[in-house]
Structure 1
Amino acid sequence: MSAPTASPSPAPAKTRRVNVRTPEVMERVQAEVETHYRSVLVENLRKAGGVLTVGHTTIRLARDFGFCYGVERAIDLAYAARRVFADRKVYLLGEIIHNPEVNRQLQEMGIISIPISEHEAKLSTLDPDDVVIVPAFGAETRLMNIISERGCSVVDTTCGDVMSVWKRVRGYAKQGFTSIIHGKAEHEETRATSSRAMGDAGDGHFLVVLTLDDVDYVCDYIRKGGNREEFLQRFGKSVSKGFDPDKHLTRVGVANQTTMLKSETEELQRRVQKAVEDRDGAEVAKQNFQVFDTICGATQERQDSLFDMLRKPLDVLLVVGGYNSSNTTHLVEIGEKELPTFFIRTAECLKSFSDIVHFDLHLKAEKTSYSNKLAGNDPVVVGVTAGASCPNNLVEDTIIRVFELRGTPKAEVMAEAERVAAPVE
């Protein structure tokens, strides 16, 4: 693993945060966002209970999918920033969310994305006339300090759920607890959370773990110690500077990247708590272990909705979203345990049913596959869901494409969706 910044990161200095959500600006922004991402088809399907059958093809939508409140807010703020600062350079730290279509739209509006690898170098060249958008994942404290030092205006779109996790890990540091963070060490959110786990004084500690194998290794160390150098080599830069497993696993608090698979995070919490209890005894362990539920509510809803959908017969599952979207990836993991599942970025990935371009989580690359279920003329039920960063228009495009490849034109699909959504008189 490589990733979160391991050097001490003091709390960010006061930044020039600006409010761009004025009524006149937001009226324009909301109209523009709706033009880009709204789907009448999806709205009608939701009214109809999420099911549409035309001919031998049935589409079943998950109850909860697509944009969550935090994503909608981040997009609104980014659009508003471009309108308010029309005559100034507006920069974005990486991606506003993990969806290529949304980020493409922002680039076309003239918002300049700074790649993660160039954050520090580029920010150091900005001046007070420049505007910096902080994405929904948040940003590391060292980056916020640079922005403050340069005097830039800041439009902060950090999700409220992410900031709740920051509050937790800061509290751990203040009490002398090490934060064990369940997440992807290179993910922007985990990097930002890790920097807050250093505490306001910069002397706190963190350890990022991803898999249950990682957790079991840590739990063995908690119970009986082990080879310190081997531990540090295994976790590389996924620990804070000066991290010593012989010292810093004595008192631990668990937190997580908000978009992780809920069941895995809960299992991680259980295993770490058990390890501390085995080492210290149940009573003392109460003083040396803390945990709080920090999974994003929208992530939970989308995972729970998919589990509900999988209780009914499905032939194929399509999961739509950006390949680097953590919460979308976990939907794919849930689906592929039950039935043929294709992780597609857009409807363009459905070139034909013998030529489906999709992302393989195990290969960590795109590949092309064939679906005999979709390609035949027999009745087929297709489940569709999407991550919290996927707009409804991409879900609509996917549904239309499935029907078209099955021989039903778009006009007929739209008409039938409107009919089933109409209230019964």
Structure 2
Amino acid sequence: MSTNLISSGTTAREKVNLRTPDVMAAVQQQVESHYRSDIVDKVRRAGGIISVGDTTVRLAKQFGFCYGVERAIDLAYAARNHNPEVNHQIASLGIKNLTGKNKQADISELGPEDVVIVPAFGTELSIQQQIKDRGCQIVDTTCGDVMSVWKRVRKYASESATSIIHGKAEHEETKATSSRALGDGSGHYLVVLTLAETDYVCDYIRHGGDKQEFLEKFKGAYSPGFDPDVHLQTVGVANQTTMLRGETEEVQRRVRQAIIDRDGPELAEKTFRFFDTICGATQERQDALRELLNVPMDLLLVVGGYNSSNTSHLAEMGEEKLPTYFVLNASRLVSANEIKHYDLHEKREVVSHFWLPHGPTVIGITAGASCPNNLIEETLIRLFELRGISRQQLELAA
């Protein structure tokens, strides 16, 4: 598949295929040198288990970079390597965030000489248009699974069905999907995160209620002009692709039942729609962790970014079964008595003590879809160090 650098300036630019054999060969060398791990590769080939002394670590069968993230990284590196001018610019200025909490630059500062990389989870239509209006070159790395959701919510809008999106309203992917749910401008959406929120919506579908209370409860999570008395008559369920499949299926089941209770089963065939939009890689990682959790272990380490939705769900799954620590990287394993980890309930990094057991210990490790293998390796090395086993001993055992 090829991706183009696009300019919307008055003079059309030649479309550039980044995925040429020579460019991608160079890219692969760079990506592997930065993110690959010999130790992790060896452990995987050995069945995902490594034991040294009285310490055993089990890796989930699927973890780390998904195809969409790998593709996004490849294209980002390809954009840098395509021509010396772009490479020099990025080397001298660095890649800067244009949106989100870590925003480092403003779209209004951009011009035709700038390259904008759209991440794997996409971006909002309004932001995309602003970038085009600035005449920037665009490298779009949006994941195909995300684009499938966009196609579905656009279809809902064309059929005058409101998209009920299971996800986090503030997440960049959900924002991007919500913007597509508007269709030609007449569509609507409502974002629900929890089953409790879903039940509230279902009660409103069945019985109606206090409109102002509804709008206040979901403030920031619905489309402009959304009216629950009007726009919950015909609905379609979609989701942020990194949500737990079981939760999304339950959201779908409850909303469908509410529509049936209100309209009857025959009419509900026309007033309710659903499409499975869970990311395949997300599901693989959840299934692999579920399998790993069936094996007796003393604790689980989940490695990845604290703002990562798919990684957070892996940590949730672990917490249901055994002591689980959601860590950013190896540096959070401070000592055998102290670990810094993200608390999903307090929504902040906390410190726990006496986390690492004495004596024979079995530890599980998994990671989110945006976590590279080199971070897993560093975590693995640090973990064994805290158990008195050197990197050299670990490499010999792998």
What is the TM-score normalised by the length of structure 1?
A: 0.88
Q: Which one of 197, 202, 218 corresponds to residue 214 of structure 1?
A: 197
The alignment of Structure 1 onto Structure 2 pairs a total of residues equal to 389
- Give the corresponding residue for 1:186: 170
Q: Which one of 379, 387, 395 corresponds to residue 368 of structure 2?
A: 387
Q: Do the aligned partners of residues 141 and 45 (structure 1) sit closer, same or farther apart at CA in structure 2, a change above 3 Å counting?
A: same
Give the whole-Å Cα distance in 2 for the aligned partners of 1:308 and 1:206: 35
- Give the corresponding residue for 2:100: 116
Q: Do the aligned partners of residues 82 and 89 (structure 1) sit closer, same or farther apart at CA in structure 2, a change above 3 Å counting?
A: closer
Q: Which whole-Å deviations, capped at 9, do the CAs of 1:133-169 have from their partners, x for residues lacking one?
A: 1011101000111111111110000011000000000
The answer to whether 1:318 aligns with 2:301 is yes
- Give the corresponding residue for 1:403: 384
| Offset of residue 24 of structure 1 | 1.4
Question: Residue 114 of structure 1: SS of its match in structure 2?
Answer: coil
Give the whole-Å Cα distance in 2 for the aligned partners of 1:90 and 1:20: 17
- Give the corresponding residue for 1:246: 229
Is the Cα–Cα contact under 8 Å of residues 96 and 105 in structure 2 kept in the other structure?
no
Give the whole-Å Cα distance in 1 for the aligned partners of 2:102 and 2:323: 39
Question: Residue 329 of structure 1: SS of its match in structure 2?
Answer: helix
Give the whole-Å Cα distance in 2 for the aligned partners of 1:79 and 1:65: 22
Percent identity over the alignment is 60
| Offset of residue 88 of structure 1 | 3.7
Gaps of 5+ in 1: 1-12, 92-105, 418-425
Give the whole-Å Cα distance in 1 for the aligned partners of 2:214 and 2:125: 27
Residue identity in the other structure for 2:394 = V
User: Once structures 1 and 2 are overlaid, which stretch shifts more, 119-128 or 179-188?
Assistant: 119-128
Q: Which whole-Å deviations, capped at 9, do the CAs of 1:363-412 have from their partners, x for residues lacking one?
A: 1111111235x241x10000000011000011111111111110111111
Question: Residue 307 of structure 1: SS of its match in structure 2?
Answer: helix
Residue identity in the other structure for 2:45 = K
Q: Do the aligned partners of residues 252 and 14 (structure 1) sit closer, same or farther apart at CA in structure 2, a change above 3 Å counting?
A: farther
| Offset of residue 118 of structure 1 | 8.9
Question: Residue 339 of structure 2: SS of its match in structure 1?
Answer: strand
Q: Which whole-Å deviations, capped at 9, do the CAs of 1:179-235 have from their partners, x for residues lacking one?
A: 000010010000000000000x11100000101111000000000101111111111
| Offset of residue 108 of structure 1 | 8.8
Q: Which whole-Å deviations, capped at 9, do the CAs of 1:74-106 have from their partners, x for residues lacking one?
A: 011111111124424899xxxxxxxxxxxxxx9
The answer to whether 1:138 aligns with 2:100 is no
Bigger relative contact order (CA 8 A; separation at least 6): 1
Q: Which one of 325, 331, 335 corresponds to residue 314 of structure 2?
A: 331
| Offset of residue 125 of structure 1 | 2.8
Residue identity in the other structure for 1:252 = V
Give the whole-Å Cα distance in 1 for the aligned partners of 2:131 and 2:103: 10
Question: Residue 231 of structure 1: SS of its match in structure 2?
Answer: helix
Q: How does 1:65-214 map to 2 (within 5 A)?
A: 65-88=63-86, 110-116=94-100, 122-199=106-183, 201-214=184-197
Q: Do the aligned partners of residues 415 and 359 (structure 1) sit closer, same or farther apart at CA in structure 2, a change above 3 Å counting?
A: same
The answer to whether 1:358 aligns with 2:341 is yes
Is the Cα–Cα contact under 8 Å of residues 223 and 279 in structure 1 kept in the other structure?
yes
Give the whole-Å Cα distance in 2 for the aligned partners of 1:164 and 1:203: 20
Question: Residue 243 of structure 1: SS of its match in structure 2?
Answer: coil
Q: Which one of 253, 258, 272 corresponds to residue 270 of structure 1?
A: 253
Is the Cα–Cα contact under 8 Å of residues 89 and 131 in structure 1 kept in the other structure?
no
Give the whole-Å Cα distance in 1 for the aligned partners of 2:111 and 2:33: 34
Runs of 4+ in 1 over 4 A off after TM superposition: 13-18, 106-109, 117-121
- Give the corresponding residue for 1:60: 58
| Offset of residue 107 of structure 1 | 8.3
User: Once structures 1 and 2 are overlaid, which stretch shifts more, 147-156 or 166-175?
Assistant: 147-156
Give the whole-Å Cα distance in 1 for the aligned partners of 2:126 and 2:232: 25
Give the whole-Å Cα distance in 2 for the aligned partners of 1:314 and 1:176: 50
Give the whole-Å Cα distance in 1 for the aligned partners of 2:161 and 2:88: 39
Residue identity in the other structure for 1:298 = A
Question: Residue 106 of structure 2: SS of its match in structure 1?
Answer: helix
Question: Residue 352 of structure 1: SS of its match in structure 2?
Answer: coil
Is the Cα–Cα contact under 8 Å of residues 161 and 294 in structure 1 kept in the other structure?
yes
User: Once structures 1 and 2 are overlaid, which stretch shifts more, 111-120 or 146-155?
Assistant: 111-120
- Give the corresponding residue for 1:231: 214
| Offset of residue 311 of structure 1 | 0.6
Q: Which one of 291, 310, 321 corresponds to residue 308 of structure 1?
A: 291
Residue identity in the other structure for 1:28 = A
Q: Which whole-Å deviations, capped at 9, do the CAs of 1:277-321 have from their partners, x for residues lacking one?
A: 000001110100000100000000000111101111000100000
Give the whole-Å Cα distance in 2 for the aligned partners of 1:337 and 1:389: 23
Q: Which whole-Å deviations, capped at 9, do the CAs of 1:48-96 have from their partners, x for residues lacking one?
A: 10011110000000010000110000011111111124424899xxxxx
User: Once structures 1 and 2 are overlaid, which stretch shifts more, 174-183 or 76-85?
Assistant: 76-85
The answer to whether 1:27 aligns with 2:25 is yes
Give the whole-Å Cα distance in 2 for the aligned partners of 1:194 and 1:18: 30
The answer to whether 1:297 aligns with 2:280 is yes
What is the TM-score normalised by the length of structure 2?
A: 0.94
Gaps of 5+ in 2: 1-6
| Offset of residue 14 of structure 1 | 6.9
